[in-house]
Structure 1
Amino acid sequence: MRTTLKRVGNSQGVIIPKPLLAQVGLERDVDIDVEDGAIVLRKPTRRPREGWASASRAIADANDDALVWPEFGNAGDSELTW
């Protein structure tokens, strides 16, 4: 099947027929890569943010969850006139 590139804002797009998408099981999100000079679309291997909760627990269990930025919030607020 041959199709043409279409202008989409500052990018280019391709209209993929629905039966083709159904045949390979693509629905909404896709992973896109370039392999051997070809653009390849695949079903995502993971859901977004998958594993974040367990990674956060592991960081906390290792006591490695100290603040990266120092506290700066309300220091000196008592000296302000509101």
Structure 2
Amino acid sequence: MSNVIKTRLVKIGNSQGIRIPKVLLDQIGLTKDLEMEVQGDQLILRAARRSREGWAEQFRQMATNNDDVLLDPSTHTASTWDEEEWTWE
């Protein structure tokens, strides 16, 4: 069951903001960086996802499904740099 806490908008320069009680911040683990999204008549706040979060797992899944191939291999021509300098890890 969630707790409903009333608050007010406060003026911050040309914008408005809200104060989020510590108990709520602790409950959902919000930190400095947030994402905001509007869904209908609701404003959703959540911790910001890290850049490229989940990419490694998606790439593993692509390899498992053999989806990690060039869509049009005829357009790929390796350069000297590709052949001599590039290393796959």
TM-score by length of 2: 0.47
TM-score by length of 1: 0.50
